[in-house]
Structure 1
Amino acid sequence: MSHNPPELRPDLAPRAILGGDARPGQPRIGMVSLGCPKALVDSERILTRLRAEGYGISPDYAGADAVIVNTCGFLDSAKVESLEAIGEALTENGRVIVTGCLGAEPDYITGAHPTVLAVTGPHQYEQVLDAVHAAVPPAPDPFVDLLPASGVSLTPRHYSYLKISEGCNHACRFCIIPDMRGRLQSRPHKAVMREAERLVKAGVRELLVISQDTSAYGTDLRDRDAKAPILDLARDLGTLGTWVRLHYVYPYPHVRDLVPLMADGASGVLPYLDIPFQHAHPQVLRRMARPAASARTLDEIAAWRAACPELVLRSTFIVGYPGETEEEFAYLLDWLDEAQLDRVGCFQYENVAGARSNALPDHVPDVVKQERWDRFMQKAQAISEAKLAARVGTRLPVIVDAVDAEGATCRTMGDAPEIDGHLYIDEGAEALSPGDIVTVLVDEAGEYDLWGRLA
């Protein structure tokens, strides 16, 4: 069967940024980080531990004594990409340690690449370090390497992912994340806040809150005081003076209590919700083993927007799920017309080894999946274009991501890095720097992007 190309997949993080000079004789480790932002955070933690032990970080294969490949196993296409990355690292370097979600299937990896040095599963930091020690013994210089240092970041300095929990308690038939990463395990509130404060002190201007189910954060903690601990966490993060963006929020009833925080311009919590609806037709949602009340979801969306008119909604959807009929797909298009979501991603259903959806009857042919994806994205694009056109003439705060000779690439409060659109400033951007937050007058709109000038 065909696989989703990387640009259609919902499991991608920004490309890891590696660099730094090594002292003479310092052992160096390379890192290839694939998959979602949660995996990128795992890579940052591994490299931070290695840096504290005296290892340098190599931005290329040639300068590395060994390479860690942090893999993804969300979809079969992600598995193919992971195997290709392992093969490339073996060809270019030869000494490869594999970790991440695909590491939960060691036989699958060693069957394709029997010469890898070690295979560890997701967030098994200690095992990764043990494998590195065995392959490349540490050689620390206590006068340099072991001085206190801020953690290693694989994203631009002005934003950072903040992982608040691991695992998931949902049992969606198409997903194997609970099998790979386990059930929900929330980090203590104080630990999350300490990390957030450290990041802000290091210059981070935007915190991107991630987990597998952000709405459920803290519900597994025995010492929790609140019914919905994410509310207290979001409120406290909003006091740090940065933008706070919430990802992977399931539409539980208590989301209604989150939205007023977003409407409060002083709270720091951005008017942005990333909610993985996946589909809208009740029968498809039941086959997915997901909540099947799409009509009530429209009511919730209306209530959220009434409380926060500036709210931007992002979501991802699956087309071509087993058994999806033309009628069910048409229902999804009509629902999208009513919901008027601001940012929409879509991917074509794939079988994933171990997923219960593989056994469902009436799998949709690839050619039909492609045709439905085209129609879905055409609809989503028209909605996006109309919504952005309505922004022309307005003033928006934006965060600067990059500045070059052509101008500045920025994002509005409604745009997350890598997955959403941009706002471009073509003139007068010479004095701007990444991380600056400025006000822009929007004077042009496209299908997914805006253009403007400093107000």
Structure 2
Amino acid sequence: MSAPRVSFVSLGCPKALVDSERIITGLRSEGYEISRKHDGADLVIVNTCGFLDSARDESLEAIGLALNENGKVIVTGCLGAEPDVIRERHPNVLAITGPQAYESVMNAVHEVAPPAHDPFVDLVPPQGVKLTPRHYAYLKISEGCSNRCSFCIIPALRGDLVSRPINEVLREAEKLVQAGVKEILVISQDTSAYGLDIKYQEAMWQDRTVRTKFLDLSRELGEMGVWVRMHYVYPYPRVDEVIPLMAEGKILPYLDIPFQHASPAVLKNMRRPAHQEKPRAAFRPGAKPAPILPCVPPSSSAIRVKRKKISGCSSIGWMKPRSSVPVALNMRRSRARRLMILALNRCRKR
């Protein structure tokens, strides 16, 4: 595989020139070739200046020239701090970053023209080092969680939701498939909330626009020809959108949903949204493994009746309480044991 070629335009002051040198050094260290001409290059980077009106005009003109001669343009530098100005004049630029955004520029280049992998030189395989068996791999799509469930300390430990750009996620998935992975397990703290923090930001993937959203991610992964299994999905309305993909066989008919309780009163106390009727109407009766949290107060006879309506074949466990959790969990092993017996009896009847 030949090395990708990048054409570079550096405008502005000596400080901007040093920024250009740093970016080009990073490109060369990753094996990219620097082209003197836009025509024939895999992409063009324009390092802009925005200090004077004349400098802004020169930068916008250079961007337009690169688009005309090549079509794939990444904009960085001082004028990149005003992306609306650039988009208004040149809406087809691939990415815009501000000054000193070296890592963002490199990430944008990787999305357009990934660096060539040399098996004789590179010590790390294209898909990265994996600790799982070769036939499956985990694909983490986000970090943190923006929910404030009364029983959970995840936001305190990992922070609010931060979604990875969808083209970055899909590129990683593609490398996994090329490496021989047969099953991709999508994970995060809250998979169905993917992209919510960045307002479902759009990105380019294989010459088309996709949104950083649970549905778009599921659809694109479903076209890669491997099993796709969604983990840590919560019963939000967004889940309804992927059910047709399951019916078409694009992704596995599997949802690892933590059924944290059956009582609306307790779910409200846990600060969890819930709609029992929609999941029941969407899925035919059957064994669906899912974790259950049976030990969240308050407890009443009416709530206990609801707990007995278990579909069966679920994983049931308990959690040790943490002092930092607003609701102190009164854990009872006997309650989990009764639920397990009930679930086993339901499974045997089938």
TMscore range, shorter length = 0.5 to 0.7
The residue number in structure 2 matching 1:300 is 278
**Which runs of structure 2 are paired with 1:126-275 in the superposition (5 Å)?**
146-150=122-126, 151-222=128-199, 224-225=201-202, 229-265=213-249, 267=250, 269-275=251-257
- In structure 1, stretches of 5+ residues that fail to align are 1-142, 388-455
Q: What code does the residue aligned with 2:150 have?
A: R
**Which runs of structure 2 are paired with 1:328-407 in the superposition (5 Å)?**
328-334=303-309, 336=310, 340=311, 343-358=313-328, 364=330, 369-387=332-350
Superposed CA offset, 1:394-425 (max 9, x none):
xxxxxxxxxxxxxxxxxxxxxxxxxxxxxxxx
Instruction: Please give the alpha-carbon distance, in whole angstroms, between the structure 2 residues aligned to 1:202 and 1:227.
Output: 26
The residue number in structure 2 matching 1:315 is 290
Q: What code does the residue aligned with 2:235 have?
A: P
In the TM superposition, what is the alpha-carbon distance from 1:329 to its structure 2 partner?
2.5
Q: Does structure 2 conserve the Cα–Cα contact (< 8 Å) formed by 1:205 and 1:242?
A: yes
Q: Does structure 1 conserve the Cα–Cα contact (< 8 Å) formed by 2:163 and 2:195?
A: yes
Q: Does structure 2 conserve the Cα–Cα contact (< 8 Å) formed by 1:160 and 1:199?
A: yes
**Which runs of structure 2 are paired with 1:42-121 in the superposition (5 Å)?**
none
Residues matched between the structures, number = 224
Give TM-score, length-normalised by structure 1: 0.46
Q: Does structure 2 conserve the Cα–Cα contact (< 8 Å) formed by 1:216 and 1:230?
A: yes
Q: What code does the residue aligned with 2:290 have?
A: S
Q: What code does the residue aligned with 1:352 have?
A: R
In the TM superposition, what is the alpha-carbon distance from 1:315 to its structure 2 partner?
2.3
Instruction: Report the secondary structure of 1:319's partner residue.
Output: coil
The structure-2 alpha-carbon separation of the partners of 1:213 and 1:321, relative to structure 1 and needing over 3 Å to count, comes to: same
Instruction: Report the secondary structure of 1:244's partner residue.
Output: strand
Q: What code does the residue aligned with 2:148 have?
A: A
Instruction: Please give the alpha-carbon distance, in whole angstroms, between the structure 1 residues aligned to 2:199 and 2:297.
Output: 39
In the TM superposition, what is the alpha-carbon distance from 1:228 to its structure 2 partner?
7.9
Q: What code does the residue aligned with 1:300 have?
A: K
Instruction: Please give the alpha-carbon distance, in whole angstroms, between the structure 2 residues aligned to 1:251 and 1:275.
Output: 7
Give TM-score, length-normalised by structure 2: 0.59
- Cα-Cα RMSD: 2.5
- In structure 2, stretches of 5+ residues that fail to align are 1-118, 203-209
In the TM superposition, what is the alpha-carbon distance from 1:348 to its structure 2 partner?
2.4
The residue number in structure 2 matching 1:283 is 265
Q: Does structure 2 conserve the Cα–Cα contact (< 8 Å) formed by 1:216 and 1:228?
A: no
Q: What code does the residue aligned with 2:316 have?
A: C
Instruction: Report the secondary structure of 2:186's partner residue.
Output: strand
Superposed CA offset, 1:191-225 (max 9, x none):
01111011111111000001111111011225625
Instruction: Report the secondary structure of 1:154's partner residue.
Output: coil
Q: Does structure 1 conserve the Cα–Cα contact (< 8 Å) formed by 2:200 and 2:212?
A: no
The structure-2 alpha-carbon separation of the partners of 1:227 and 1:153, relative to structure 1 and needing over 3 Å to count, comes to: closer
Q: Does structure 2 conserve the Cα–Cα contact (< 8 Å) formed by 1:244 and 1:270?
A: yes
Instruction: Please give the alpha-carbon distance, in whole angstroms, between the structure 1 residues aligned to 2:227 and 2:198.
Output: 26
Superposed CA offset, 1:338-375 (max 9, x none):
xx25x4122224311311112xxxx64x6xx2221111
The structure-2 alpha-carbon separation of the partners of 1:144 and 1:345, relative to structure 1 and needing over 3 Å to count, comes to: same
Q: What code does the residue aligned with 2:189 have?
A: Q
The structure-2 alpha-carbon separation of the partners of 1:304 and 1:145, relative to structure 1 and needing over 3 Å to count, comes to: same
Q: Does structure 1 conserve the Cα–Cα contact (< 8 Å) formed by 2:145 and 2:154?
A: yes
- Identity within the alignment, %: 44
Larger radius of gyration: 2
Q: What code does the residue aligned with 2:245 have?
A: L
Range that drifts further, 279-288 or 144-153: 144-153
Instruction: Report the secondary structure of 1:208's partner residue.
Output: strand
Q: Does structure 2 conserve the Cα–Cα contact (< 8 Å) formed by 1:209 and 1:246?
A: yes
Superposed CA offset, 1:135-163 (max 9, x none):
xxxxxxxx988545241111111011110
In the TM superposition, what is the alpha-carbon distance from 1:386 to its structure 2 partner?
4.1
Instruction: Please give the alpha-carbon distance, in whole angstroms, between the structure 2 residues aligned to 1:249 and 1:218.
Output: 14
Instruction: Please give the alpha-carbon distance, in whole angstroms, between the structure 1 residues aligned to 2:280 and 2:124.
Output: 49
In the TM superposition, what is the alpha-carbon distance from 1:242 to its structure 2 partner?
0.5
Instruction: Please give the alpha-carbon distance, in whole angstroms, between the structure 2 residues aligned to 1:191 and 1:214.
Output: 16
Superposed CA offset, 1:80-106 (max 9, x none):
xxxxxxxxxxxxxxxxxxxxxxxxxxx
Instruction: Please give the alpha-carbon distance, in whole angstroms, between the structure 1 residues aligned to 2:168 and 2:161.
Output: 16
Instruction: Report the secondary structure of 2:290's partner residue.
Output: strand
Superposed CA offset, 1:51-82 (max 9, x none):
xxxxxxxxxxxxxxxxxxxxxxxxxxxxxxxx
